[in-house]
Amino acid sequence: MTGAFGEAAFRLGPRALALPRRPSEFKGPGRVAVVFETTALEPHESGLLGRIESGGLHPYRPPGSRKPDNSQIIFECDADELRQHAPGHPALQAFVTAIDNLEACLPPPKLMGVVNVTPDSFSDGGRFHEPQAAIEHALELVAEGAQILDIGGESTRPGAEPVDADEELHRVLPVLEGLARQTDARLSIDTTKSVVARAALAAGASIVNDVSAGQDDPDMWPLVAEMGCEYVLMHRQGRPRSMQIAPTYDDPVREVCEELRRRVAACLKAGVGATRIIADPGIGFGKRLRHNLALLQHLPELRSLGLPLLLGVSRKSFIGHVTGAEEEKDFRGRSRTDRPVERIGGTAAALTACVWGGAEILRIHDVRIMSEAVQVAHALTQPAPYL
């Protein structure tokens, strides 16, 4: 679906609906406002907007900005009049349908339980390094409500050293094979290596979670295209070994969106199906505290990609930085004054922001208690009952 209204429909589509709704996309009873990229408007759309009597086009001023963004315009009009013009315009009809669906009851995000089969995990210190321990832990996560299990054999914590493919396979294959026999939960392989991904898919995985977005292994995208599996494409600045030393952004939200858009375009060109890609902004991967907070505050901007979002905020160090329990300079884990397993309250709060921002999948460690947080956060996005 092309044109500005088609793009707007993606932003407001079922995968993206959640509170808080952007004032620039939805303005309460009877009124609609949407931000368009100036170059996205096709001639027939410009003409259509001009015929809507209650509407107006104005330069868009981003929240907090003192001047308009010359690359964007905001259009506001009466919703009922917009509906009257929808017949005969498929993209506009999709946009109107998306608006009408804003009050629909949507399912809560899927929960992806984390299974680290590594001796140096940042979050659990290698408690589940042995295959049987990892399998038992994974089954507990499923019993607590996880619909997806993300199995990883290489730590991606800040400062982590790389692991060769043979060792990674030695760690994850017994776990994947054991889980494939014992649970119906979907299995995800957390890897940047195509050889590991191929073996994991053969062992029962159906999702590849690639924190490098295809940059570490040029064979990853052809493999994903060949296998037709779902693919998590994550933003990362730098590599785990050094990514937290000096991450730099002028505008983290815009830059992360632009980089994800470029990687998605290249991924599509490599033959991966558009409906198979899941975007992840990479909280904590080459980002300082202010960068992480900016992304979580502006998740609707990431929804403009038109893809489902996966968010991994569970037990991340930015929570300790916010609370003051951990100094931000201790990115390598030195002189730590709090432990990741103790970041329960902060994780629950961050997950609420993710739910309200439109995340479709949440990658978490503490499934039982966080499923409660997600259910309550999701309930707050639904129409309130009046007693």
The conformation of residue 115, written as its DSSP 8-state character, comes to E
Asked if 158 and 145 count as a contact pair (C-beta separation under 8 A), the reply is no
| Catalytic residue flag (residue 193) | no
Tell me the residue type at 198: R
The conformation of residue 320, written as its DSSP 8-state character, comes to H
Spatial distance between the Cα atoms of 155 and 350, rounded to a whole number of angstroms: 22
What per-residue confidence (pLDDT) applies to 105?
A: 53
- 187-222 residue pLDDT tens: 999 999 999 999 999 999 999 999 999 999 999 999
What per-residue confidence (pLDDT) applies to 44?
A: 75
Which of 22, 236, 288, 363 is labelled catalytic?
363
What per-residue confidence (pLDDT) applies to 386?
A: 40
- Return all residues near 118 (Cβ < 8 A) that are at least 6 apart: 126, 129, 152, 153, 154, 155, 163, 171
Averaged pLDDT of the chain: 81
- The string over 284-293, giving b where at least 16 C-beta atoms fall within 10 Å of a residue's C-beta and e elsewhere, is bbbbbeebbb
What per-residue confidence (pLDDT) applies to 19?
A: 32
What per-residue confidence (pLDDT) applies to 231?
A: 98
What per-residue confidence (pLDDT) applies to 373?
A: 96
Distance of CA 381 to the CA centre of its chain: 18
Residues 368, 372, 376: CA angle, nearest 5 degrees: 165
Which of 171, 276, 315, 316 is labelled catalytic?
316
Q: pLDDT tens digits, the chain, 387 residues: what are they?
A: 456 665 565 455 433 333 333 334 444 456 777 777 777 677 777 777 778 877 777 777 766 567 777 777 777 778 788 788 878 777 677 677 666 655 455 678 999 999 999 875 545 555 666 889 999 999 999 999 999 999 999 987 666 678 899 999 999 999 999 999 999 999 999 999 999 999 999 999 999 999 999 999 999 999 999 999 999 999 988 666 655 666 788 888 888 988 998 999 999 999 999 889 999 999 989 899 999 999 998 887 787 677 889 999 999 989 988 987 765 454 455 555 557 788 999 999 999 999 988 899 999 999 999 999 999 998 887 655 543
What per-residue confidence (pLDDT) applies to 25?
A: 46
Asked if 173 and 254 count as a contact pair (C-beta separation under 8 A), the reply is no
Give the C-alpha distances (Å, rounded to integers) separating 382 from 38, 276, 370.
33, 27, 19
What per-residue confidence (pLDDT) applies to 375?
A: 93
What per-residue confidence (pLDDT) applies to 156?
A: 76
Other Cβ atoms less than 10 A from the Cβ of 271: the count is 12
- The string over 178-190, giving b where at least 16 C-beta atoms fall within 10 Å of a residue's C-beta and e elsewhere, is bbeeebebbbbbb
Spatial distance between the Cα atoms of 145 and 190, rounded to a whole number of angstroms: 20
- 145-172 residue pLDDT tens: 999 999 999 987 666 678 899 999 999 9
Spatial distance between the Cα atoms of 14 and 12, rounded to a whole number of angstroms: 7
- Return all residues near 265 (Cβ < 8 A) that are at least 6 apart: none
| Catalytic residue flag (residue 316) | yes
User: From 3.20.20.20, 3.90.1150.110, 3.55.30.10, 3.40.430.10, which CATH number describes the 110-379 domain?
Assistant: 3.20.20.20
Which strand ranges, in their side-by-side order, compose the sheet holding 56-60? 31-37, 69-78, 56-60
Q: Per-domain residue ranges for the chain?
A: 3-103, 110-379
